[in-house]
Chain A
Amino acid sequence: MSKVQVRQLAEFSVPALSIGVAAGLVAGGLAAFAGQPTGWAVLTGLALGVPIAFFSTGYAVLVALGKVPTGVFAPAAVYWLVGFPLALMAHAAVTEWVIVGSPGLPESPLEFLAFRALLSMGFAIGFLWMHEQLGRHWWPRIREHNEYAYRCVEQYKEMAVSLEERKAAAGRGRPRPRKRRAPA
């Protein structure tokens, strides 16, 4: 993969990356609001934000490369079934590092992962929704020089054209005179 492609993929992944940043800001902000020391709040924010940003970017790259269709739920659900538990595992390890002084896995790590995997569907729905909303504003801006964004916008255009056809086919207004057909 050339440098240009890597740069374009990074640019395409900005909406996904920003979801990770937002997750980190929320986690850190909540900790600060709850009265935790600033250093701890920043660390908590990074511990959750960085892994989620990492997995979010991974998902965007799969979309850019055409491995995952845009805006379809099932692949996102499968992706976060793995990504969400791992991101929270990283968060838990960093939390323990801060409290105990050395990083460590939570008790019963398999149960830990299974529990988060079952709750990942909710995160997947929210992620997909945000990714679509942010992407629709970002990708048209960069499509002139970004082949991945161009392809993605074209997919949305196809969808929009199809919706327009749907409206046109509906043929609102007064009915055109039609030839009487024999009853079926």
Chain B
Amino acid sequence: MDVTSSTSDLPDGPSPVTEERVWRAGRLEPMPIRKLPKAPPSIHILGPTVFLVALGVGMGESYMWPRLVLVFGPDIRWLFLVGVTLQAFVLLEMARYAMATGESIFFGAARIFKPMMWFFYVAAILIYIWPGHLSAGAAAFEEISGIPWQVSACVALVGVGVLFSMLSVIYSFLEKVLGFLIGFLVVGTAIIASIVGSWDDLASTISGMFAFGFLPDKALSDVWFPIIVGSIAFAGPSGMQQMWYTLQLRDSGAAMGSHIPKVRGLRTAGEAESMPSRGYMFDTEDPAEMEKWKGWRRWVTFDALLLFWGITMLVTVSFTVLAMSAARENPNVGALIEGGDREAALKAMSDAFASAGSPILGTAFFGFIALIGLNATLGLFDSFSRGQADMTYYFVPGAKKIGMSRLYAGFLWGVITFGILILLFGPADGPASILDILAFLSTFAMGAYCVVLLLVNNKLLPKPIRPGIGRNLIIGFGAVFYLGMLFYSLVRFGVVVG
């Protein structure tokens, strides 16, 4: 901590210019030194990782991985273990920068090289404006209720928009709602899996996670390899969801994020405090501050291991156990899956659940898929709007005058309006011709954010809080893993991901 400079704390209005200690990181405005707050006194069950769980427990966990197990057997799950564990380390390293500075990882990327941030800005729009999760959830809801999926999807879109606009502070409410939905999902799958499944299913599911190196010839075909690459990418929160987590971490007031005001709903946007023009740093040479930092690292590690890794693993284990018991009852499931028909496969899995236990299990299966669709929609819309508003606020000239809350509302209603138009008049997952590009961008973004993490944490943070060599190697492996498999698939088969 060896730099001293002049800085003003607020971007607008007259402010006294004072001499104070700052931390210089990259070419952008230096970060003033502030006190690090104390870490929470006890380990609380719910932290911001609930967002990652809500986003992460999606179609990958409930459908894509059970599908691969039904086709290749449970030994293929070692790839899932690698994917989720890698994501847990990414989460911890994303948290390192966000908690030390109160800045998002997008801001960190801009401090390294601004075009890198603009890549994520454009990729987010291209990837996440398509209402694919919502349409899948609404289709499952139609199976239960008979209500046409376009109707329930449009109502849900407008409902989410009104809700987020009316809220005083968006983060607190969303944490509670997602916490409840995830709690219900986890308890429900645990109880149903414990009634329907068997020890043998569970034993082979778990032993399959350690069958490192298992890759049958069929998995290396042009049909299945791109699907496996896509499934690995979708193990846990995929694409840019990990990057958005840094914003939720900030809004939850974690570590130096407590110096940054919360994003408010449109109704109370006028009451929002002014956003500072950059983050803050704490004094890493003060032993007391470093002790508090260790407390925060313990807090986020607990969050990552229990809530993210544990819940994601538990839900997929439960769904895989259910799928395996379903396959015993209804061997046709495998054939339908190999046919590649997602809706038929989902219907067959539901039927198999019903025949394995009682008719209600088939309904419960669709209920969970609908719930996952709703979870993903709530989490994705909030995260997308938050991420885009953050980058716009800090890096688009004149945007600060609009304010963070109004920018958030603008992106939220923009994505809702586009979603409704697409649901009514276009393909919900996006035009087929660009799906390949979106899949490529999503997986490419994951490789890219590993590179960004290495640069940001090692170049922008003070030495005492930089990651160790082991963690750097793991994140470096992540970059090679995602980008390597993506380009191998592209070169070998001419297909990006499935």
Contacts and interface: CB of A to CB of B under 8 A. Distances in A.
B183 A115 contact: no
Given A72-B42, A162-B38, A175 B311 contact: no
B190 interface: yes
A33 B261 contact: no
Nearest to A176: B18
A4 interface: no
Nearest to A33: B360
B418 to A, nearest CB: 34
B282 to A, nearest CB: 11
Contacts of B360: 30-31, 33-34
A172 B202 contact: no
Interface residues of A, number: 54
Interface string A101-127: 000000010011011101111110111
A125 B18 contact: no
A177 B199 contact: no
Given A34-B358, A123-B191, A184-B2, A73 B306 contact: yes
A119 B194 contact: yes
Contacts of B279: none
Contact of B183 (A33, A126, A170, A175): A126
B3 A122 contact: no
A122 B187 contact: yes
A170 B35 contact: yes
B198 interface: yes
Contacts of A165: 37-38
Contacts of B191: 23, 123
Interface in B274-320: 285, 306, 310-311, 314-315, 317-318
Given A69-B42, A165-B38, A125 B311 contact: yes
A103 to B, nearest CB: 18
B10 A71 contact: no
Contacts of A23: 191
B190 A159 contact: no
A159 B34 contact: no
A159 B42 contact: yes
Nearest to A125: B186
Nearest to B354: A34
B173 interface: no
Given A34-B360, A71-B45, A125-B183, A166 B18 contact: no
Interface residues of B, number: 59
Contact of B314 (A35, A122, A175, A181): A122
Interface string A140-184: 000000000000000000110011011101111111011011011
Given A125-B45, A181-B21, A166 B187 contact: no
A70 B43 CA distance: 10
Contacts of B199: 108, 111-112, 114-115
B27 interface: no
Interface string B186-206: 110111011101110010001
Contacts of A72: 42-43
B359 A122 contact: no
Given A178-B20, A180-B4, A184-B1, A129 B9 contact: no
B2 A119 contact: no
Contacts of B40: 159, 162-163, 166
A166 B186 contact: no
Interface of A: 23, 30-31, 33-36, 69-73, 84, 88, 108, 111-112, 114-116, 118-123, 125-130, 132-133, 158-159, 162-163, 165-167, 169-175, 177-178, 180-181, 183-184
22 contacts: A30-B364, A34-B358, A34-B360, A111-B198, A114-B199, A116-B194, A119-B314, A122-B189, A122-B318, A125-B306, A125-B311, A128-B45, A129-B179, A159-B42, A162-B38, A166-B258, A170-B37, A172-B261, A173-B9, A175-B9, A178-B19, A180-B20
Closest 3 A/B residue pairs (Cβ): A126-B187, A122-B190, A166-B37
